[in-house]
Amino acid sequence: MTTNLLASELKLPCGALIKNRIGKSAMSENMGTKDYKSNSFLNTLYKRWANGGSGLLITGNIMIDHTALGEPNNVVFEKDSIDTNLKEWAKAGTQNNTHLWAQINHPGKQSPNFLSKEPVSPSAIGYGSPLNKMFNKPRALTEKEIYNIIESFAYAAKVSKDNGFTGVQIHGAHGYLVSQFLSPLHNQRTDQWGGTIENRMRFVSQIYKAIRKEVGNQFPVSIKLNSADFQKGGFTQEESMAVVQHLSEQGMDLIEISGGTYEAQAMTGRPKEIKESTRKREAYFLEYCEDVRKVVKTPLMLTGGFRSLKSMNDALNSGACDMIGLARSIALDPEFPNKLLKGDNNVESKVKPLSTGLKFLDNIIPLEIVWYTEQLKMMSKGENPKPNRSPLKSAVNTILEIGVQSMKKVRA
């Protein structure tokens, strides 16, 4: 019998200890209050997960500015906002010696048109079809605004630390603002923030430095980064590798590897982006992670596609990564980490391909997101997830919800 490496602890460069190698990857809960605060629903959900066995829980993306939201019910950490529940949320998520890290994010132009009339981005480049129906054309950020956003990331990290979260993660993946800066398709600036990869990574590098200055050297700081954007002319694996090397040298504690954007949804293993043979092997970004391992010593968390204990232990055993990131499996079964930690190779993830049965609906609704968000909502009310819930029902609910949101006043 091979050792269950999943159950071994991990020491990060900052000195923090994670009790095992399972990290719950970020899943946007979309359940904050109307004024962007956390609440008892989040406390219930994270208490459940903290008792589920993961060594690390990363929150769903928390925004750093309420005028730039990725979803209507995001929680926001920003100046002049007091969230009296935050300490309770942190307490719930750190039970059972669990790390709880806040994932902090700015959506840039990936802010839906019913939330942002004119979103911001490195350059004033809108999306092509069909995303242009969902997101308005952005305007280019001024330098002053860029510096303000860097400071806002640092402030959000301070809020996290002050309230009992045990680390932070910069969302640098999936086409949000940091990822927009890194992409030559979306960042066509001609100043110090655009052009060469050194210039395009200046934004994330400065965010990291500003956060580190705020939280000190003993507090875990992480980033979720794309292996690539899976788009012609977009952020490539070579460029991603350069960013990984740079951030490692700066002292990043953990780099989580993912991939894709809303335009090319590799992160959830969509067949268009991820080959069937890769999905069968699980771990969509394993090969890239193996390449990264050859050039950096920074702890790596690999996320996307892991379903079986064997694949997880194989990846850890090979040395390709140091932590296994799990999202959807833990949304459907909060006890999944505890089961894996017992070392039973027959434990199965409940994740299955989703379809409404109607091709046109499958194409227009981000089903993976909406169906799983409903599972999180059930857990936040103290109920169990329902793996047999109808995807069609979720799609219809979403259409109704978007209709209501669109009818409400559009925020600037």
Complex with ligand FMN: residue 292 or 369, whichever CB lies closer: 369
Complex with ligand FMN: residue 214 or 368, whichever CB lies closer: 368
Q: Beta-strand (E) ranges in 59-149?
A: 62-63, 99-105, 120-121, 139-140
The residue within the footprint of ligand FMN, chosen from 372, 385, 394, 395 (CB under 6 A), is: 372
**With binding defined as CB under 6 A, does residue 28 bind ligand FMN?**
yes
H or E element that contains 375: helix 367-380
Q: Return the number of other C-beta atoms located less than 10 Å from residue 138's C-beta.
A: 24
The residue within the footprint of ligand FMN, chosen from 12, 22, 42, 326 (CB under 6 A), is: 326
| Distance (Å, whole) CA 140 – CA 174 | 19
| Distance (Å, whole) CA 200 – CA 215 | 24
Instruction: Give every CB contact of residue 342 below 8 A, 6+ residues apart in sequence.
Output: none
Residues 239-278 that bind ligand FMN (CB under 6 A): 258, 267-268
The residue within the footprint of ligand FMN, chosen from 136, 180, 303, 394 (CB under 6 A), is: 303
CB of 116 to ligand FMN, least distance (A): 17
Complex with ligand FMN: residue 157 or 194, whichever CB lies closer: 157
| Distance (Å, whole) CA 348 – CA 163 | 36
CB of 376 to ligand FMN, least distance (A): 7
DSSP string, 165-217: --EEEEEE-TTSHHHHHH-TTT----STTSSSHHHHTHHHHHHHHHHHHHH-T
Q: How many residues of this chain bind ligand FMN (CB under 6 A)?
A: 26
**With binding defined as CB under 6 A, does residue 25 bind ligand FMN?**
yes
- In the block, which residue shows the tokens 């927009």? 180
**With binding defined as CB under 6 A, does residue 368 bind ligand FMN?**
yes
Contact letters (x/-) for ligand FMN, 103-122, by CB under 6 A? Answer: x-------------------
Residue 43 φ/ψ region, left for φ over 0, alpha for ψ in the -120 to 50 degree band, beta for the rest: alpha
- Report helix, strand or coil for 65: coil
The residue within the footprint of ligand FMN, chosen from 327, 340, 347, 379 (CB under 6 A), is: 327
The residue within the footprint of ligand FMN, chosen from 6, 10, 27, 316 (CB under 6 A), is: 27
54 contacts 335 by C-beta, under 8 angstroms: no
**With binding defined as CB under 6 A, does residue 226 bind ligand FMN?**
no
Complex with ligand FMN: residue 194 or 321, whichever CB lies closer: 321
The residue within the footprint of ligand FMN, chosen from 32, 53, 304, 391 (CB under 6 A), is: 304
- How many residues belong to the chain? 412
- Report helix, strand or coil for 22: strand
- Report helix, strand or coil for 403: helix
The residue within the footprint of ligand FMN, chosen from 356, 373, 380, 394 (CB under 6 A), is: 373
Complex with ligand FMN: residue 83 or 368, whichever CB lies closer: 368
Q: Which residues bind ligand FMN (CB under 6 A)?
A: 25-28, 60-61, 103, 171, 173-174, 224, 258, 267-268, 303-306, 326-329, 368-369, 372-373
